[in-house]
Amino acid sequence: MEIILAQESVADLKKWFTSYVQTFKYKDIELQRNIDLKKDHTRRVCKEILNLGEQLGLNDDALRLAEIIALLHDIGRFEQYARYKTFMDGKSENHAELGVKILEKHEVLKQFDEATKDVILRSIQYHNRASLPRGETETCLFFTKLLRDADKLDIWKVVTDYYHRKDEKRNGAIELDLPDTPGFSEEVYRDLINKKIVDIKHVKNLNDFKLLQIGWIFDINFKPTLRYIKERRYLEMIRDVLPKSKEISEIFDIIHRSFVN
């Protein structure tokens, strides 16, 4: 698919994004902080996707498309939080599907041709799925992969900053309201030693959730992403806040063996 996108279309969409997000305003500091968290996350995912795209040699039009996809990928988060006060899809609704509905309702993509619109909406729709879609076009699959890598890079930043924060204050929105109980689930351990991403159904406590974040390494699509993960020491930073145990060491041995090059 040939991608042609004017520079102004990115600028216009950034303006739309800013004014849309401004409609979600809270006096409550906690609520506003979680809106800001997603706004800042979006800004950084845009940077990550451009970085990755440049390293993969994308041309300017493809980079613009990538940036638009990153800019809009979590648009459903704001309405989700307004309606349900949680970012947990299982307890509210799927934020990716909600995002697509919002973009359609506000006719945000009306300036694009059908094929371009389709790639944007589908990449967004697929970004939070457990695995990649099958039977998609090469272009759609590529941008879906790129978004998923860029998104994970920033979620790792958010959670590692959080786990190593100086104040002890907890944020249920980041921890998905999971209990911080000792130990971790057998099923989570089993997913990881089988080099599989962790099934969200197996996640029962905060340690399980940390392990799920470790397991994203098995769902990375591009070499530059892996390099960033190593350079930024994301997995080590999560390991630091997990219990010291034989099973956890085993998981890390498997990861190190899988990703040495």
Q: Tell which positions 211-240 bind Fe ion, by CB under 5 A.
A: none
Q: Tell which positions 112-151 bind Fe ion, by CB under 5 A.
A: 151
Closest approach, Cβ 24 to Fe ion, in A, equals 16
Binding range to Fe ion, per CB under 5 A, among 68-76, 140-148, 175-183, 248-256: 68-76
Closest approach, Cβ 248 to Fe ion, in A, equals 27
Residue whose CB is less far from Fe ion, 67 or 151: 151
Q: How far apart are CA 32 and CA 172, in angstroms?
A: 14
Q: Which residue has the tokens 């899809």?
A: 89
Q: Tell which positions 146-175 bind Fe ion, by CB under 5 A.
A: 151
Closest approach, Cβ 41 to Fe ion, in A, equals 6
Closest approach, Cβ 103 to Fe ion, in A, equals 15
48 lies in the site for Fe ion, by CB under 5 A: no
Q: How far apart are CA 154 and CA 164, in angstroms?
A: 15
Closest approach, Cβ 45 to Fe ion, in A, equals 6
Residues 218, 196: contact at Cβ < 8 Å?
Answer: yes
Residue whose CB is less far from Fe ion, 197 or 242: 197
Closest approach, Cβ 115 to Fe ion, in A, equals 24
Residue whose CB is less far from Fe ion, 67 or 74: 74
Report the amino acid identity of residue 96: A
Residues 6+ apart with CB under 8 A from 46: 67, 70, 71
Residue whose CB is less far from Fe ion, 151 or 191: 151
User: Which alpha helices (H) appear in 23-171, and where do they start and end?
Assistant: 29-55, 60-72, 76-84, 95-105, 114-126, 138-163
Single residue of 67, 74, 175, 191 touching Fe ion by CB under 5 A: 74
The count of residues interacting with Fe ion (CB under 5 A) is 2
Q: How far apart are CA 198 and CA 210, in angstroms?
A: 10
Residue whose CB is less far from Fe ion, 13 or 248: 13
Residue among 131, 7, 125, 23 at smallest CA distance from 74: 125
Residues 188, 211: contact at Cβ < 8 Å?
Answer: yes
Q: Which residue has the tokens 């630091």?
A: 240
C-alpha dihedral sign at 98, 37, 116, 126: negative
Binding range to Fe ion, per CB under 5 A, among 73-81, 132-140, 181-189, 201-209: 73-81
Q: How far apart are CA 192 and CA 25, in angstroms?
A: 40
Binding range to Fe ion, per CB under 5 A, among 12-20, 53-61, 70-78, 160-168: 70-78
Closest approach, Cβ 77 to Fe ion, in A, equals 8
Q: How far apart are CA 247 and CA 186, in angstroms?
A: 10
Which tokens in the block code for residue 191?
Answer: 């997913």
Q: Closest residue to Fe ion, Cβ-based?
A: 151
Residue whose CB is less far from Fe ion, 93 or 247: 93
Closest approach, Cβ 65 to Fe ion, in A, equals 17
Can you give the binding site for Fe ion, defined by CB under 5 A?
74, 151
